[in-house]
Structure 1
């Protein structure tokens, strides 16, 4: 046995001798050696892709850019702390014994009651905190729990393009099959400023995507990355289709406290639509604390029951002290005027930042909610002899634009073709997504760097 191990080790070392430093062969080394990825254990197909994801490409480029410090308007995290009444609540929670132990799997009663009280007026009915609310480890785990709770292998789920990229892996992990329906971009979006509301839904395409295997449809309103708030008419049409075809609606409304235009919740349109709707929320988006990972779902008891059952098997319970702090946030936000202040401040950041696009004559899609802005860079001419690395060279133009901005201007943005299927990437290849949830001085710095584009514009 020992000689067999040594022969295998020797063969392995010869094969990879150019990659390894000389070592002394021996049984102890054989037992502790690290296998080459993929050499010994085959990964599951859901994680086997070798294609580098957008987040690592952008972050690595930002690290290696000659222009430092980078101004990061890529990933959608806040550049400032939650308000003091929230952070004080988190600190206070750490001094409570029960807040440092497991919470009930469906969430801390105080938080569920606070959410039910805050959202009942918005839903136009009394929400039962015990049966119609469940707390999850961030909105993303909440959506995974919804998929795991209802989607079985072969079930079909309809989503809109562009999509939040986590939808894809979450649905596929549950064995679901995705049917895509693209939002139609503004006809003049490449030449003039448009509204995010001009990204439209082709209802005929939605119905065409449905089949006898359809189980669920996923909405995102306010939408990331477009900033669109689905109109009441659009939601009614989608809801009617879901009733007709007996579909569950998973409505991702994590930016619900940041609407700049009238915002309709699909669960409020009719009892029949409400009976099939799960609404997703996020303390991270509501209270400027994306790292807290506190989310929730609101919906009818017969749906919430199975979401909570899946959540129990995924991570059992969520972070106790931060649930307690989020509960305090909901209890105090209304009386302190926090929701309205937050909305006005974000609208101001959008206007402050977009002024540079007006100045440069670059079209953009003015968001109706949330904190993302899509800007169109069709007028920006990338140098023909510019050398892009292999992980960018074979991707759509928006990746090259994003790389160029990082390397030449020191400004990070996200290429939105990452949120499209290959067939529809053409819709977004001239756009970039910017997150404006940053301090005002950061926004001003970003604007100054964008002015460096003038020499590349036609």
Structure 2
């Protein structure tokens, strides 16, 4: 029995006709009010509240400590050596070669650094360039819901229709019947995020294989956002491109930010079949062209770090998840399982509170902790299904999480 299940049908967010690209973008990211007024992102709003109140910000998913010193030193050395001008538009050869080696080392994939990999300004640009290159009016882009807000924004900008399949608590795995029903002859791209933000779900082979089969049936491109690929706890991450029939239609996106805790460097990448990569590169070169020259080769070195590093970052993050989850449970919230990423969801309905968005706006002043309401990652139906859920980020130092847990323990009495 799915916890909190209202229904599991796929939805399509057509919404009102918007004439300006910025309006379509804002609508896709849930930034337009019913009267057409423009709001700010919930991340900006909650971060501002955290700053005003001195709250511990567990809203935005960025670490509060840097990654390996060796990578920082490599960036400093690159700057000193003069790597301060434009990198090649598709990225430095050193980084592209390192990405190819990473894909072979961990997954047995063999992308060509010359024609099947491009470096981007974070995964965000890779996603944007891909959707703008491959979709437009009359097309549908299928995602799971909840979805990372930039997906909705760029789908809106492209003019495509955003269709969704719900991920249902407590395990946030899709119903395969609903998944099949969501594909249509107009489905141009299926965009998946695995491991999944904001739910922390990791999709098993059965789900991924069904996506591949449906993409083949409807001749859709699979775009997979795998920025949390090394941050799973228990379930093993399976790149969808490794499954039979997937490689020739799959674009795989990842980045250095989450793996190495350098989110501000904005070094991302995309790999896949040469003809699809060329299409994305055509758009990407007119967005940023290139960026982060000294950081690119520093990350190239980071990708070659030993297994102890990759195993260690997942183990450390799992410990942090457990510290925060225990604090949330002691606060009287129902904690939902997190198998990966930086995030854990908690259900406020356990405290008799059904409006997580209103509570999120109160929490910074109320107990000095900030979180993000899950409904902002959804369209209308999904927002109703998830209206009592909050997302907390645990990519913080253990003492910070322990203090957050202590503050959360006062929640019931302060309410």
**TM-score relative to the length of structure 2:** 0.89
CA drift of 1:93 comes to: 1.0
CA drift of 1:361 comes to: 4.2
Task: Give CA deviations for 1:26-54 in whole Å, capped at 9, x if unaligned.
Answer: xxxxxxxxxxxxxxxx8842366413321
Q: 1:399 touches 1:415 (CA, 8 Å); kept in 2?
A: yes
Equivalent position to 2:81, from 74, 96, 101 = 96
Distance 2:334 2:360 in 1: 17
Counterpart of 1:190? Answer: none
CA drift of 1:56 comes to: 2.6
Max Rg structure: 1
SS in 2 for 1:219: strand
Counterpart of 1:386? Answer: none
Equivalent position to 2:232, from 259, 262, 265 = 259
CA drift of 1:217 comes to: 0.3
Q: Which deviates the most, 121-130 or 427-436?
A: 121-130
Counterpart of 1:109? Answer: 93
CA drift of 1:456 comes to: 5.5
Task: Give CA deviations for 1:343-367 in whole Å, capped at 9, x if unaligned.
Answer: 1100111112111233344221121
Counterpart of 1:192? Answer: none
Distance 2:381 2:62 in 1: 29
Whether 2:346 is the aligned partner of 1:375: answer: yes
SS in 2 for 1:93: helix
Whether 2:327 is the aligned partner of 1:365: answer: no
Whether 2:321 is the aligned partner of 1:350: answer: yes
Distance 2:109 2:58 in 1: 38
Query: Where do residues 138-287 of structure 1 align in structure 2 (5 Å cutoff)?
Result: 138-186=122-170, 198-260=171-233, 261-270=235-244, 272-287=245-260
Q: 2:129 touches 2:280 (CA, 8 Å); kept in 1?
A: yes
Distance 1:137 1:209 in 2: 31
Counterpart of 1:127? Answer: 111
Distance 1:91 1:429 in 2: 46
Q: Which deviates the most, 351-360 or 176-185?
A: 351-360
Distance 2:97 2:137 in 1: 35
Task: Give CA deviations for 1:138-183 in whole Å, capped at 9, x if unaligned.
Answer: 0000011111221122211001100000001111212211111111
Counterpart of 2:306? Answer: 334
Counterpart of 2:366? Answer: 408
Distance 1:43 1:225 in 2: 26
Q: 1:414 touches 1:432 (CA, 8 Å); kept in 2?
A: yes
Equivalent position to 2:376, from 403, 418, 432 = 418
Counterpart of 1:31? Answer: none
Equivalent position to 1:76, from 61, 77, 98 = 61
Distance 2:190 2:21 in 1: 29
1:304–1:441: structure 2 CA closer, same or farther, 3 Å change rule? same
Whether 2:282 is the aligned partner of 1:306: answer: no
Q: 2:374 touches 2:387 (CA, 8 Å); kept in 1?
A: yes
**TM-score relative to the length of structure 1:** 0.81
Q: Which runs of 5+ in 1 are unaligned?
A: 1-41, 187-197, 383-395
Q: Which runs of 5+ in 2 are unaligned?
A: 1-19, 27-31, 33-37
Equivalent position to 2:23, from 24, 45, 48 = 45
Counterpart of 1:320? Answer: 293
Distance 1:262 1:43 in 2: 39
Q: Which deviates the most, 423-432 or 108-117?
A: 423-432
Distance 1:107 1:175 in 2: 29
Q: 1:185 touches 1:427 (CA, 8 Å); kept in 2?
A: no
Q: Which deviates the most, 71-80 or 421-430?
A: 421-430
Query: Where do residues 58-73 of structure 1 align in structure 2 (5 Å cutoff)?
Result: 58-65=46-53, 69-73=54-58
Whether 2:407 is the aligned partner of 1:449: answer: yes
Counting matched residue pairs gives 385
Task: Give CA deviations for 1:67-86 in whole Å, capped at 9, x if unaligned.
Answer: xx211110001110111011
Output the aligned Cα RMSD. 1.7
Q: 1:104 touches 1:317 (CA, 8 Å); kept in 2?
A: yes
Q: 1:203 touches 1:238 (CA, 8 Å); kept in 2?
A: no
Equivalent position to 2:395, from 432, 437, 448 = 437
SS in 1 for 2:350: coil
Q: 1:409 touches 1:449 (CA, 8 Å); kept in 2?
A: yes
